[in-house]
Amino acid sequence: MRCEDVSQALPEIVDGAATADLALRRHVDTCLRCQAELAQYRKVLRAMHQLRTEVLEPAPGLLADILAKVEEAGERRALKSLLTKRRVAYAGAIAATAAAGAAGAVIFGRRRLRAA
């Protein structure tokens, strides 16, 4: 195995997600150049993990902006839900009125038949 081939594979195996095949491991074990390159990848990976803990302070006001946006969305949602409930209530009332009307008409019709 040549150093160039190993070099191609190193970025994939540095975090242990992909397993290095036996030939590659043997090459790295005996090649100082590839060992050095692998060590460099590991240093970069460690530094990436360390950067994760670095605090990047947002400018003041971001929290208030987020909460305001969320609150606005919440109000819109509440309004929508209220309108939907009212629509359901209106539809229910109309349906109830129609049903009562129909029942009344049936009763009235029957009485007229009996009277006749």
Which residues lie near another protein (CB under 8 A)? 4, 11-12, 14-15, 17, 37, 40-41, 43-45, 47-52, 54-59, 62-63, 65-67, 69-71, 73-74
Nearer to another protein, 69 or 110 (CB): 69
Nearer to another protein, 58 or 104 (CB): 58
Query: Shortest distance, CB of residue 40 to another protein, whole angstroms?
Result: 4
Calculate the CA 88 to chain-centre distance. Answer: 31
Query: Shortest distance, CB of residue 74 to another protein, whole angstroms?
Result: 6
Closest by CA position to 28, among listed 38, 19, 18: 38
Nearer to another protein, 68 or 102 (CB): 68
- Contact call for residues 14 and 42 (beta carbons, < 8 A): yes
- Contact call for residues 31 and 3 (beta carbons, < 8 A): yes
Rg of the chain, C-alpha, whole Å:
38
